[in-house]
Amino acid sequence: MAFNYPNGHSFNQKAFQKPIVSYGASQSNRGMSLEHDINEANKYYLAMGQAVIHKKPTPVQIVNVSYPARAAAKITEAYFRQASTTDYNGIYKGYYIDFDAKETTHKRSFPLNNIHEHQVKHLKAIVKQNGLAFMIIRFTVLQETYVVWAKLIFGYWDNRETGRKSIPYEEIAKFGALVEQQYNPTTPYLQAVDKLLIECKKEGDNLI
């Protein structure tokens, strides 16, 4: 099926597919992507009454449909109605949360070209309204996943023209919170969010 952007340019699906990560045999989420892990965690949080978090649907306008069989319809061409914002939003402990999930094969840094300008603009708007805005970043080679406040992203993003084009791994590990892998859910990212919230309250910093 052909997808196109609002300006008519074709969408390269392969370029935006998230890599499937193969972990060691001891890892319970072997062969699963970050998006899959987060979706499973969200199902767990909802079932346990801990949070209500969902993946945002991408608005699509259908243009052409073929009917290979009388009882079957196949979409052959569609357009994204608008640029997507972030992947997830919801409610947790009375906070509105909004975040995106990113994976990188880089070991020592997270490239800023993994982020889109409209996503940064959206996250800034969330912060302005006192929502919890963050990113979940997975270093696939290192098998490490971190939650970082969006404000850390903003600092590097706003200076990308004259400064670094990536965020150092050391900065993410220092100011972010490592998501400890466990059995169920395999990627309990809200535990990492709790760690960041505790640090903010302890230090009296407005890092959210």
| pTM score, whole prediction | 0.75
Q: Phi, psi (5° rounding) for residue 23?
A: -90, 175
**191: enclosing H helix or E strand:** helix 189-203
Q: DSSP H helical segments within 24-116, as ranges?
A: 34-47
The secondary structure of residue 97, as a DSSP letter, is E
Radius of gyration for the chain, computed over Cα atoms and rounded to the nearest angstrom: 19
Give pLDDT, residue 140. 95
Tens-binned pLDDT, residue by residue, of the chain (208 aa) = 555 555 555 555 444 444 433 333 333 343 359 999 999 999 999 999 999 999 986 655 566 777 777 667 776 665 555 556 798 999 999 999 999 999 999 999 999 999 999 999 999 999 999 999 999 999 999 999 999 999 999 999 999 988 899 999 999 999 999 999 998 999 999 999 999 999 988 877 665 5
For residue range 68-87, list pLDDT tens digits in order.
Answer: 776 677 766 655 555 567 98
- pLDDT, averaged across the chain: 82
Q: CB neighbours of 53 closer than 8 A, spacing ≥ 6?
A: 42, 45, 46, 88, 89, 90, 91, 92, 97
